[in-house]
Amino acid sequence: MKSISLLALAGAASAHYTFPALISGGTTTGAWEYVRDWTGSYTYNPVQDVSSLDIRCNVDGSTNTASTLDVTAGSKLGFSATPDIYHPGPVLAYLAKVPSGQTAATWDGSGAVWFKIYEDGPTGLGTQLAWPSDAATSVSFTIPSATPDGEYLVRVEHIALHSASTSGGAQFYISCGQINVTGGGSGTPGPLVAFPGAYSASDPGILIGIYYPVWGERRIFRPELGDARRRAAGHGESSTHNPPTLRLYGRLRAYMLQTNKTTSKAFFTPNLPVRHLSSLSTLQPPAQTNPVSYNNMRSAILIVSALFSLAAGAAIDSDVLTKHENVGRATCSWIGHAPMCKPGNCPAGTQACAQDFCGDGACCFTGFKVKCCTVNPNVPSCT
Model pLDDT, residue 75:
98
Mean pLDDT of 198-202: 94
Model pLDDT, residue 141:
97
Residues 150-163 have pLDDT tens digits of 999 999 999 999 88
**Whether residue 111 sits in one domain with residue 173:** yes
**Whether residue 144 sits in one domain with residue 110:** yes
Mean pLDDT of 346-355: 53
Residue at a domain's end among 241, 275, 309: 241
Mean pLDDT of 343-347: 55
* C-alpha 8 chain-centroid distance: 29
- Whether residue 174 is contained in a domain is answered as yes
Reply yes or no on whether the pLDDT at 332 is more than 60: no
Mean pLDDT of 189-208: 92
Residues 246-256 have pLDDT tens digits of 332 222 222 22
**Whether residue 213 sits in one domain with residue 264:** no
The answer to whether 161 and 200 have CB atoms below 8 angstroms apart is: no
Which residue, 57, 52, 72, is CA-closest to 104? 57
- Whether residue 373 is contained in a domain is answered as no
Among left, alpha and beta (phi > 0; psi -120 to 50; other), residue 295 is alpha
Rounded to 10 degrees, the C-alpha dihedral 121/122/124/126 comes to -100
**Whether residue 285 sits in one domain with residue 233:** no
Residues 244-303 have pLDDT tens digits of 233 322 222 222 222 222 222 222 222 222 222 222 222 222 333 322 222 222 222 222
**Whether residue 320 sits in one domain with residue 346:** yes
Percent of residues, the chain, with pLDDT higher than 70: 49
The answer to whether 312 and 268 have CB atoms below 8 angstroms apart is: no
How far is the CA of 213 from the CAs of 129, 205, 217, 227, 231, in angstroms?
11, 11, 11, 28, 33
Q: State pTM to two decimals.
A: 0.58
**Whether residue 196 sits in one domain with residue 292:** no
The answer to whether 86 and 10 have CB atoms below 8 angstroms apart is: no
Residue at a domain's end among 210, 241, 272: 241
Show the CA angle centred on residue 85, arms to residues 94 and 248, nearest 5°: 60
Tell me the DSSP string of 197-214: TS--TT-TTTS--TTSPP
**Whether residue 273 sits in one domain with residue 166:** no
**Whether residue 298 sits in one domain with residue 214:** no
**Whether residue 275 sits in one domain with residue 226:** no
Residue 276 belongs to domain spanning = 253-365
* C-alpha 220 chain-centroid distance: 7
Q: Who has greater pLDDT, 315 or 362?
A: 362
Q: Which of 174-183, 219-228, 293-302 has the highest mean pLDDT?
A: 174-183
- Whether residue 91 is contained in a domain is answered as yes
**Whether residue 311 sits in one domain with residue 221:** no
Q: Who has greater pLDDT, 349 or 118?
A: 118
Tell me the DSSP string of 30-92: -TTTSB---TTGGGTPPB--TTSTHHHHSTTTTT-----EEEETTSEEEEEEES---S---EE
Reply yes or no on whether the pLDDT at 39 is more than 70: yes
Calpha distance 380→360 (Å, rounded): 19
Which CATH number do you get for residue 152?
Answer: 2.70.50.70
**Whether residue 200 sits in one domain with residue 125:** yes
Helix (H) or strand (E) holding 266: strand 266-269
- Whether residue 247 is contained in a domain is answered as no
- Whether residue 374 is contained in a domain is answered as no
Model pLDDT, residue 239:
27
Burial 177-203 (b: 16+ CB within 10 A, else e): bbbebeebbebebebbbebeebbebeb
**Whether residue 277 sits in one domain with residue 225:** no
Model pLDDT, residue 204:
83
- How many domains does the chain fold into? 2
- Whether residue 246 is contained in a domain is answered as no
Model pLDDT, residue 48:
95
The answer to whether 24 and 140 have CB atoms below 8 angstroms apart is: no
- Whether residue 106 is contained in a domain is answered as yes
Model pLDDT, residue 98:
98
Among left, alpha and beta (phi > 0; psi -120 to 50; other), residue 58 is left
Mean pLDDT of 172-199: 95
Residue at a domain's end among 190, 216, 241: 241
* C-alpha 317 chain-centroid distance: 28
Taking residue 370's Cβ as centre, other Cβ atoms within 10 Å add up to 23
Model pLDDT, residue 360:
43
- Whether residue 382 is contained in a domain is answered as no
Model pLDDT, residue 208:
83
Residues 60-104 have pLDDT tens digits of 888 889 999 999 999 999 999 999 998 999 999 999 999 999 999
| Mean pLDDT rounded to a whole number for the chain | 64
Taking residue 11's Cβ as centre, other Cβ atoms within 10 Å add up to 9
Q: Which of 42-56, 216-230, 231-245, 263-277 has the highest mean pLDDT?
A: 42-56
